[in-house]
Amino acid sequence: MAGNYAEMDGKIWMDGKLVEWSEANVHLLTHAMHYASAVFEGERAYGGTIFESRRHSERLHFSARELDFEIPWTVDEIEAAKYETMKANGLSDAYVRALAFRGAGEDMGVSSARNPVRLAIATWAWGDYYGDAKMRGAKLDIAKWKRPSPETAPSHAKAAGLYMICTMSKHAAEAKGCSDALMFDYRGYVAEATGANVFFVKDGEVHTPTPDCFLNGITRQTVIGMLEDRQIKVHERHIMPEELEGFEQCWLTGTAAEVTPVGKIGDYSFEVGALAKDMSQSYEKLVRA
């Protein structure tokens, strides 16, 4: 995808109807713009089918409840709206973004209980998130920002506000010529990239951080299942930064990232090895099956 997202052609589903892309606007005093009262999902469709679509819609509802609001559209209605939007835009391979948020209303302070909850769905064509990294391995910086304690933020929700430090970390990484940044958590353990979960390989076994303060991604869960089907041992555990030196391979998982091998994190290098390549290629086959 190239160009300005605000100037694309097509339709966006907003609050129950399709509108022209350029007319999918909100008021300046929309609560989500000021106080981050918004949740979203990123999904991919392959050959006209959205991978794990219903799980994404169910998680959208879960995230909204974590932020203390209810989406006034059912999971079934959201499912229908996503496919309606894809059809309206003539897309079979697409990225799908569903966004639920508190709009403008009677409240314009921290409280927003009287404001309407709105829902929008956009779809567009989007290629590889990390460019050619699937072949050569992505290069990651190490972020200065840390994933917060679940006592300070709803870390298991896919909430817009949780991505502020991700944006800053990714900008800092790109300024250094990197594709992304690895983030540690509030305790100093390895956590995730700015928008993707992370896996490591050592001695034929896989290690991945325990998702106790960050999102347990749907792609992450899918890849763990794929590894277990192959009888490959998966260790979900706390990983210390100094362990990075001993890992042989690494990859990222996420709807946008899919399965992307990593070649470098800070000063640590990783082989784009057989298992990383296999998981990337096998995931591609799975989602298109």
First to last CA, the chain: 24
> Is residue 158 annotated as part of the catalytic site, yes or no?
yes
Using the 8-state DSSP alphabet, how is residue 12 labeled? Answer: E
Residues 126, 97, 30, 25, CA torsion sign: positive
Beta carbons of 129 and 256 less than 8 angstroms apart: yes
Alpha helices in the chain (DSSP H): 31-35, 53-66, 75-88, 133-136, 164-175, 218-229, 274-287
Q: How far apart are CA 166 and CA 233, in angstroms?
A: 30
Q: Which residue of the set 11, 82, 134, 158 is catalytic? A: 158
Beta carbons of 100 and 60 less than 8 angstroms apart: yes
Using the 8-state DSSP alphabet, how is residue 219 labeled? Answer: H
The H or E element that residue 13 is part of is: strand 11-14
3-state secondary structure of 250: strand
Q: How far apart are CA 181 and CA 171, in angstroms?
A: 9
3-state secondary structure of 241: helix
Alpha helices in 107-198 (DSSP H): 133-136, 164-175
Beta carbons of 60 and 76 less than 8 angstroms apart: no
Burial of 121 (0-12, 13-18, 19+ CB in 10 A): buried
Catalytic positions: 158
